[in-house]
Amino acid sequence: DAGVTQSPTHLIKTRGQQVTLRCSPKSGHDTVSWYQQALGQGPQFIFQYYEEEERQRGNFPDRFSGHQFPNYSSELNVNALLLGDSALYLCASSLLTGEQETQYFGPGTRLLVL
C-alpha cells in the first residue's frame, strides 16, 4: 500500500515562471492538503481539496491555485514565481470523516526560485 507520493522531488525555476507540483494521496484517502514550509519554519497551510473542490484556503495569494482529480490526486500550481516562493511544499492526505483523522504526509517537493 503506497503512502502519499509527490513529484517532482526537486525543482529549480526562475522568477516569473510557473510551476506545477503533483500529489497522490494514500490509498483510501479522499482529502488532500497542501502546505508550504520555508527553511527553518513550520509548515503553513495553503489549501485543502475534497471532492474536487477547494474546501479551505490559507493566507496565500491567488497565484497559488490547485486542482483535485476524480482519483483524488491533486496538483498545486504557482504562477509568476517569486524568490520568496522557494520552500518545501508538502502534501498531506486524510479521510474526511466527522472525527479527527491522522494526516499522512508525502516526502515533499523542494522548490528553488532563482
Contact residues toward other proteins (CB under 8 A) are 31, 33, 35, 37, 40-45, 48, 55-56, 58, 88, 90, 92, 94, 96, 100-108, 110
Q: How far apart are CA 70 and CA 82, in angstroms?
A: 31
- Give the distance from CA 79 to its chain's centroid: 14
CB 51, min distance to other proteins, A: 14
Measured from the CB atom, the residue of 30 and 79 that comes closer to other proteins is 30
Measured from the CB atom, the residue of 19 and 108 that comes closer to other proteins is 108
Which position has the grid cell 508550504?
36
CB 65, min distance to other proteins, A: 18
- Please give the grid coordinates belonging to residue 15: 522568477
Measured from the CB atom, the residue of 55 and 79 that comes closer to other proteins is 55
- Please give the grid coordinates belonging to residue 47: 489549501
**Using alpha carbons only, what angle is made at residue 82 by residues 91 and 20, rounded to the nearest 5 degrees?**
40
